[in-house]
Structure formats: C-alpha cells, structure tokens
C-alpha cells in the first residue's frame, strides 16, 4: 500500500471533487448500503431539493423521489462529508472535497470507512478524480483488506 505522502498530491484542492465508486450495483446492494449507513447519519443528513427530509427506507422510495426532485445524502466522515446523489441504479458514487481529507488522520478515517462499506457489500471500490473512474487514484479491495494507489 502506498503511503499517505504518495497519495497527498492527489488530495490538493483544485476546484474539483473526488469520487468513490463501486460498480455493478444491484437493488440488494443499495438496500445493504442504506441499512449500513442509516445509523451513521443524523436527522439532517438527507435532503430533497435542499430541504431536510427523513431518509427513505428503500432505494425504490429514493428512485421515486429522483423522478421529480434531487435527493442527496450527506455522510459524516472525519472532518468532512461524503455525498450520495443516487445518480445510478447500477453504481454507488460518493463525492467529497479533497481538502477535508488532506491530512493523514482524516485520509485514514476515510479509507477505513470506505473499506467498511466495501467489506459489507463484498465489492471493491475506487477513489478517483471527479468523473474519472477510468483513472483510479486508489483501489479499495475488501478481499485482501488493502487499499493501494493505482499505478
């Protein structure tokens, strides 16, 4: 696994977000994700068009909201948030401000949290620059319990 010093340049603020993706998602994966996240978020973490709302119980409910509005779930991790906009039924995308994770302590909290999600879902995930999943910065693999910098 690469050291934080090797990852740190990828976290320098440049006006863009960083993304975390897990691909090949199903409705079952979404439900597992929602059930896992629910106790970690507060009552103000889910918004619809900027207005606080209760987090729905199922992805199907969120999809119905998405048909006419923009839902967003903010998940607190270290000194920042991961935001889920529910853009796709077949992939999980969480975005975050790199400046919130540019210290070793916060980066480790982020990676540990994402490893927890990957392990729970039995899926690998990647961290990349915004909308660049073809160029991962880090791959998180729950089978080997490692994260590594992409070469």
> pLDDT (tens digit, 9 = 90+) per residue, 10-27?
999 999 999 999 999 999
Check whether 142 has a pLDDT greater than 90.
no
Global confidence as pTM: 0.92
What are the backbone angles phi and psi of residue 140, rounded to the nearest 5°?
A: -110, 120
Rounded to whole angstroms, the Cα distance separating 63 from 52 reads: 17
pLDDT classification of 151: cutoffs 50, 70, 90: very low
Q: CA geometry: angle at 103 spanning 99 and 108, to 5°?
A: 110
> pLDDT (tens digit, 9 = 90+) per residue, 71-128?
999 999 999 999 999 999 999 999 999 999 999 999 999 999 999 999 999 999 999 9
DSSP letters of 115-139? HHHHHHHT--EEEEETT-TTSEEEE
Domains present along the chain, CATH in parentheses: 4-149 (3.30.310)
Q: Pick from 55, 75, 66, 60: which is nearest to 27 by CA? A: 60
Cα within 13 Å of Cα(151), Cβ side: 1
Distances (CA, A) of 49 to 23, 58, 68, 69, 126: 26, 19, 10, 6, 28
What are the backbone angles phi and psi of residue 77, rounded to the nearest 5°?
A: -145, 120
């Amino acid at each position: 696994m690469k050291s934080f010093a090797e990852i740190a340049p990828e976290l320098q603020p440049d006006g863009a977000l960083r993304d975390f993706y897990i691909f090949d998602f199903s409705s079952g994966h979404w439900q597992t994700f929602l059930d896992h996240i629910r106790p970690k978020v507060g009552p103000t973490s889910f918004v619809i068009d900027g207005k606080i709302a209760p987090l729905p119980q199922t992805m199907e409910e969120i999809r119905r909201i998405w048909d006419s509005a923009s839902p967003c779930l903010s998940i607190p991790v270290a000194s920042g948030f991961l935001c889920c906009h529910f853009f796709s039924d077949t992939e999980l995308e969480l975005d975050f401000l790199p400046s919130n994770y540019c210290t070793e302590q916060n980066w480790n909290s982020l990676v540990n949290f994402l490893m927890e999600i990957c392990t729970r879902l039995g899926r690998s995930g990647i961290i990349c620059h915004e909308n660049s999943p073809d160029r991962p910065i880090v791959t998180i693999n729950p089978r080997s319990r490692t994260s590594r910098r992409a070469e």
